[in-house]
Amino acid sequence: MKLPFKSPRLSRAIRQEAKENAALGKPLNIMNDIVFKAVFAGNNNDSREALKFILAGCTHRPIKAVRVMNNEIIPEYISGKTVHLDVHVTFNDGEKANLEMQMQRGDDDIKTRASVYGARLLSEQVHKGEDYQDIKQVYQIFFLNFDLFPGSRKVPRRYYPMEEEELDILNDKLVTMFFELPKMDEMVREYFSGKRALETLPIELKWCIYLRYKVDTNAAKLIEELCRQEEGIMRADRALKKISRDEEQWARALFREKAAMDYRSGMNASRRAGREEGRAEGLALGEEKGLAKGLAKGLAKSQKVIEEKDREIAALKRRLQEKEGV
């Protein structure tokens, strides 16, 4: 299977692991952004249908037609920043969406990035001589394998521009959604304990459970039931199984995961080094301050002794003068 990006240089160990995993048909982790893109942006019928179903589930809109676009939005000015989108699509009559999978929290501000991406999807529709009322609605859809809003259990979180007190929506041209996958864990526990049936869940939460638990071998029964209930999830699962037998896809996924692990390891090492350096600087500064404080106390004490001696000498002089006068 050819993928629309160049393969990085891969180590022999990664190549060997990829070959073994592909031969066994071991499922790739769909939360890996490279795999996510391969499943939903692939040039095959299962991928196209899965994309229509997940988009319909998230937007609550019927999807008549969908087309995968270039995943880069080129800046209007040469000094501008190029935006890289995971799965960039246009659907129905020109509406746009970006579906993004983020497996771990990064150093960037994802909330600000969501605003920037959404603004770019809107602004790229504006051309000279066209009317603003012709601008189509755009959707920013983030699937996050971490909690971005730890103070809330609500999934998903949908955002529109609105008035701060009366909460009237300015317009519906930009919709930003965050699906925090770890918040599915409680629902899944209730499913396995018999307290919750999958049929009671909205379709977008079924997608979240599939994305979160597909890689978990203990959840095979859950995944099978999801595939039986929802055609879109069944299509995505079928597309995932196909690419899981592709050695090159496995190699790229492993490379991405290794790069992410190396990055986290490097960041942790940098933090540790920073803390140690800060501690050493703190000790040195403390020693310096302590020395300065000690010297100041010593000088003050010496000055006090000198002043006392001066007073004693002055008193002695007065007594001598008094005797001589007598």
Tens digit of each residue's pLDDT (9 = 90 or more) over 202-261:
999 999 999 999 989 899 999 999 999 999 999 999 999 888 877 676 676 667 666 655
Other Cβ atoms closer than 10 A to 266: 10
Radius of gyration of the chain (CA): 33
pLDDT value at position 202?
Answer: 96
Other Cβ atoms closer than 10 A to 105: 12
**Among 47, 54, 13, 14, CA closest to 241:** 47
Element (H, E) at 67: strand 66-68
Give one word for 112, left, alpha or beta, with left for phi > 0 and alpha for psi -120 to 50: alpha
Q: Lowest-pLDDT range, 2-11, 187-196, 278-287?
A: 2-11
> Which positions ≥6 away from 1 have C-beta within 8 Å?
42, 242, 243, 246, 248, 249
Q: In this predicted model, what pLDDT tens digit does every residue of 97-143 receive, in sequence order?
A: 999 999 888 766 889 888 888 888 888 887 756 788 888 999 999 99
> Which positions ≥6 away from 233 have C-beta within 8 Å?
50, 53, 206, 207, 210, 226, 227
Q: Is the pLDDT of residue 56 over 50?
A: yes
pLDDT value at position 196?
Answer: 92
Q: Is the pLDDT of residue 274 over 60?
A: no
Confidence category of residue 282, pLDDT binned at 50, 70, 90? low
Higher pLDDT among residues 5 and 232, named by residue:
232
pLDDT value at position 313?
Answer: 60
Confidence category of residue 150, pLDDT binned at 50, 70, 90? very high
Confidence category of residue 32, pLDDT binned at 50, 70, 90? confident
The span from the CA of 182 to the CA of 259, in Å, is 23
Contact call for residues 229 and 199 (beta carbons, < 8 A): yes
pLDDT value at position 29?
Answer: 86
Q: Is the pLDDT of residue 82 over 60?
A: no
Q: Is the pLDDT of residue 40 over 50?
A: yes
162 phi/psi in degrees, rounded to 5: -145, 165
pLDDT value at position 258?
Answer: 63
Q: How large is the average pLDDT for residues 301-310?
A: 67
**Among 49, 30, 36, 43, CA closest to 3:** 43
pLDDT value at position 184?
Answer: 97
Q: Find the angle CA(135)-CA(139)-CA(104) to the nearest 5 degrees.
A: 150
Q: In this predicted model, what pLDDT tens digit does every residue of 312-324 receive, in sequence order?
A: 666 655 665 665 5
Alpha-carbon dihedral of residues 42, 141, 127, 76, nearest 10 degrees?
-80
pLDDT value at position 2?
Answer: 38
Question: What residues does each domain of the chain span?
Answer: 28-243
Q: Is the pLDDT of residue 75 over 80?
A: no
What is the pTM assigned to this prediction?
0.71
pLDDT value at position 194?
Answer: 93
What's the whole-number average pLDDT of the chain? 79
pLDDT value at position 323?
Answer: 58
